[in-house]
Chains A and B, each alone.
Chain A
Amino acid sequence: MSTKASRSAAKVMISPAVLLLLGWMLVPLCLTLYFSFLRYNLLQIGDTPFAGWENYYWFITDPSFKAAIKNTLVLVGGVLAITTVGGLFAAILLDRPMFGTGIIRIMVIAPFFVMPTVSALVWKNMFMNPVNGIFGRVATSLGFQPVDFFGQIPMASIIMIVSWTWLPFATLILLTALQSLDQEQLEAAEMDGAGWWNRFWFIMLPHLARAITVVILIQTIFLLSIFAEILVTTNGGPGTATTNLTYLIYVSSLLQFDVGMGSAGGVIAIILANIVAIFLMRMIGRNLDA
């Protein structure tokens, strides 16, 4: 039972948060939309005439846009595949009885707490460098030609680095979900003669379906915005081999100072992210009613 007084107090208490978020969302959003229709480059002094759909046209027809979309999909898809499947196995493994559970878990989860610039640079130099990196050293000592990771397989290298960060996230969430699984159900199934695969396929996987969906959706939101890992390893190269949509927009807005073009790209990125967001919001909203 809330009184009238507490209800008006509640309104006062919530308004700063609402106003701040409203401003944070609306002001830049409207500006992005507005800029995207202007011919506006910071390097050119003078007025910024209305340009219609010009920016969108040039942004979309640029060959690097096609490359960026493809790279974004490969990057997001690759990391999702590795982290979801890997996370599932890691979670099932970590849920089993063992010695030193706490310490082993923290070792698996630790990479998630490493800041992106550190993880990218450490992998790039200490592991993937063909001369001094550990992978190169091992390959050489076994008599193989060391792989030039960022020259030969740049996208796969970035996928690997990003997966190292996000595998712990998937593992942690799936492990949490797995722990709420009724052990008696598993035991009953086992007594009825269900093998490991059947227990996994018919009991564990359905129980985890929701958590897996959440992992995929949340990671997608974050993975669409991968930026630092690309910036410090390849700068989007070689060529446009590792330029994703986020990086492409960064290049046109802050390196080429093309405000109009960068904004048009921004609008496209927002639309793409929203498609994913709608699904995620539905999942979370359903949970709110429960």
Chain B
Amino acid sequence: MARAVSRRTRLTNTAVAGALGFLMFFPILWILVLAFKTEEDAIRAPLEVLFGSGWTMESFTTVQERSDYFKHFSNSVVISLGSTLLGLLVAVPAAWSMAFVPSKHTRNVLMWMLSTKMLPPVGVLVPIYLIFRDLDLLDSRFGLTVVLMLINLPIIIWMLYTYFREIPGEILEAARMDGATLREEILYVLTPMAIPGIASTVLLNIILAWNEAFWTINLTASNAAPLTQFITSYSSPEGLFYAKLSAASVMAIAPILIMGWFSQKQLVRGLTFGAVK
């Protein structure tokens, strides 16, 4: 039973936690403000920025015109969605078979898959870079999609596995008793029950792929550059660019912030490989 909490305590908690929330969220809030300012206004003192200047959409259009922003945005979309779907294609059967037809090797296979995720990317940077160069895959969306699929594959399989394992096996047996074939079993019994787990897995994986900033930076230059790489072009600035950097950043993080909102719980499960639920 939850204790009855006085209104006063509740208000104090709200104030303290709200202050923490505001502090953590402030940088995001601030670029949201700066994105709608002119460059001249964006570098004024904070209070003047807020109350002493007008609002404009100018930065958004400039960013698009000068740097073809939507090319990079769509690269991000294609690469993160592509790697997720490709990963699902491989991971769903694997997780399904480990969850429902476990063998004495299942545990070791799972642990081994996890161990591939522990490999530091920089340890294999050189060979991957050279292979990509020789296969002409540098700065290609396809190459990057495959790499991101591979680095996130262990997480997808693990997450799906933990979800699938929660589906009671008796249901499958009952279906089999009723004469369902393997295909029918998967299609009509398992799939509907697995959809929520698959959906959370997809969500988390898109977030991870969208924000991945080691391979995306090292394997792309311009054509296939997703937003993570595109934003680095603002690290050596010429002239005034706060408003443009803000506009570009706001558009880059908005979709993921919204997705993250929906996937808080799954995030814990996915990123701790089921160690914390």
Contact = CB atoms under 8 A, between A and B. Distances in A.
A142 interface: no
B213 A228 contact: yes
B24 interface: yes
B232 A167 contact: no
Nearest to A267: B123
B214 interface: yes
Interface stretch (B60-68, B187-195, B258-266): B258-266
B127 A115 contact: no
Interface string A113-133: 111111101111111000010
A18 B110 contact: no
B90 interface: yes
A283 interface: yes
Classify chain A's interface size. 35 or more
A227 interface: yes
A288 B103 CA distance: 14
Contacts of B111: 281, 284-285, 288
* Main SS at interface, chain B: helix
A115 B97 contact: no
A45 interface: no
Interface of A: 1-2, 5-7, 9-11, 13-14, 16-18, 20-21, 24-25, 27-29, 31-32, 35, 90, 93-94, 96-100, 103-119, 121-127, 132, 134, 137, 141, 164, 167-169, 172-173, 176-177, 180, 183-184, 187, 210-211, 214, 218, 221, 224-225, 227-228, 231-233, 245-246, 249-250, 253-254, 259, 262-263, 265-267, 269-270, 272-274, 276-277, 280-281, 283-285, 287-289
Contact of A27 (B5, B127, B157): B127
Nearest to A165: B211
Interface of B: 1-3, 5, 9-11, 13-14, 16-18, 20-22, 24-25, 27-28, 30-31, 34, 43, 45-46, 90-91, 93-94, 96-98, 100-101, 103, 107, 109-131, 150, 153-154, 157, 173, 182, 207, 210-211, 213-214, 217-218, 227-229, 231-232, 234-235, 237, 242, 245-246, 249, 252-253, 256-257, 259-261, 264-265, 267-268, 271-277
